[in-house]
C-alpha cells in the first residue's frame, strides 16, 4: 500500500518536540538540573536566615532555572523553524510504501528503503509516529497520512519484528540514581581523605 502526504512546518516542529521530550538524556539532565538547584536553594534557605533580604545575591540561581524553559519554548522552536525553511527537501511531497518486510519513503529527490527489523524503537503521540534507526535518527510518520487500517498494519509490522516502544522517562529513577551516585561519591571522597590523614599523621 502507498500513502502520499507532505510534512508541514507544524509536523516538523512536533517531530522535534517529541524527539526531545522523550529523550532520556535530555529529560534526565533537565530533572537533575532542577533537582540540584532546588536542593541548593533549600540548603541556602536553611543556613541563611535573611535569604529574602539578600535575594539579589541569589538572583543568578533563579535565572539559571529559567534557561531550560527559554530553550524549550523560545530558542529551539526558532531554530527548528529556520531549519525547516532552509531545507527545501523537508517540504516536498513524500510517498510512503508499506510492505511486509520494509517501508519505503521517497520524494522527487530520491527513495530510501528500510527493513522493519532495522528499527531500534518507536515513539508516538496523538499526531506523530517516530521510527528510530538510531538514538537520534528517526523516520517521522504523521498519523493524518494514514487510515486506521494502515496504522494498524504499521503497528503489526513493528510488533512482529520485535521493535520495542520507547520506555517513558522516570524522574524518580533519574533522581534516585543521582542521589545514590552523589552518596557514593561523597563516601569515596570521605574514605580518600581519611586515608590521606592517616598517611600524614
CA–CA distance, 107 with 92 (Å, rounded to integer): 7
Q: Which of 47-51, 74-78, 186-190 has the highest mean pLDDT?
A: 74-78
pLDDT tens for 48-67 read 655 555 556 666 666 666 77
pLDDT score for 76: 86
Cell triple for 44: 541556602
Which residues are CB-contacts of 95 (< 8 A; sequence separation ≥ 6)? 2, 3, 4, 104, 105, 106, 107
Whether 150 and 3 have beta carbons less than 8 Å apart is answered as: yes
Confidence of residue 17 (pLDDT cuts 50, 70, 90): confident
Confidence of residue 161 (pLDDT cuts 50, 70, 90): very high
**Mean pLDDT for the chain?**
80
- How far is C-alpha 166 from the geometric centre of its chain's CA atoms? 11
Which residues are CB-contacts of 140 (< 8 A; sequence separation ≥ 6)? 7, 11, 12, 15, 128, 129, 130
pLDDT score for 116: 95
Q: Is 95 a residue whose pLDDT tops 90?
A: yes
pLDDT score for 152: 94
CA–CA distance, 199 with 201 (Å, rounded to integer): 6
Q: Which of 24-28, 39-43, 72-76 is predicted least confidently?
A: 24-28
Select the more confidently predicted residue: 126 or 178.
Answer: 126
The SS3 of residue 193 is helix
Tell me what percent of the residues of the chain surpass a pLDDT of 90. Answer: 42
Tell me what percent of the residues of the chain surpass a pLDDT of 70. Answer: 64
pLDDT score for 143: 95
Residue 122 main-chain phi, psi, to 5 deg = -145, 155
pLDDT score for 69: 75
Select the more confidently predicted residue: 50 or 196.
Answer: 196
Cell triple for 31: 530533572
Confidence of residue 132 (pLDDT cuts 50, 70, 90): very high
Confidence of residue 192 (pLDDT cuts 50, 70, 90): confident
CA–CA distance, 36 with 175 (Å, rounded to integer): 10
Amino acid at each position: 500500500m502507498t500513502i502520499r502526504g507532505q510534512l508541514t512546518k507544524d509536523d516538523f516542529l512536533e517531530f522535534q518536540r517529541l524527539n526531545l521530550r522523550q529523550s532520556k538524556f535530555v529529560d534526565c539532565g533537565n530533572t537533575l538540573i532542577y533537582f540540584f538547584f532546588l536542593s541548593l536553594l533549600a540548603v541556602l534557605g536553611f543556613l541563611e536566615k535573611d535569604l529574602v533580604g539578600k535575594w539579589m545575591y541569589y538572583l543568578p540561581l533563579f535565572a539559571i532555572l529559567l534557561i531550560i524553559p527559554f530553550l524549550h519554548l523560545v530558542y529551539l522552536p526558532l531554530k527548528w523553524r529556520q531549519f525547516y525553511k532552509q531545507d527545501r527537501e523537508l517540504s516536498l511531497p513524500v510517498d510512503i510504501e508499506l510492505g511486509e518486510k520494509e517501508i519505503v519513503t521517497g520524494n522527487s529527490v530520491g527513495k530510501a528503503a528500510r527493513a522493519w527489523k532495522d528499527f531500534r524503537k518507536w515513539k508516538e503521540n496523538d499526531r506523530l509516529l517516530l521510527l528510530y534507526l538510531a538514538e537520534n535518527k528517526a523516520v517521522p510518520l504523521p498519523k493524518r497520512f494514514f487510515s486506521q487500517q494502515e496504522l494498524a498494519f504499521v503497528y503489526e509490522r513493528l510488533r512482529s519484528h520485535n521493535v520495542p516502544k520507547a520506555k517513558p522517562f522516570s524522574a524518580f529513577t533519574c533522581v534516585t540514581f543521582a542521589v545514590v551516585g552523589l552518596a557514593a561519591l561523597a563516601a569515596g571522597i570521605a574514605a580518600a581523605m581519611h586515608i590521606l590523614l592517616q598517611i600524614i599523621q
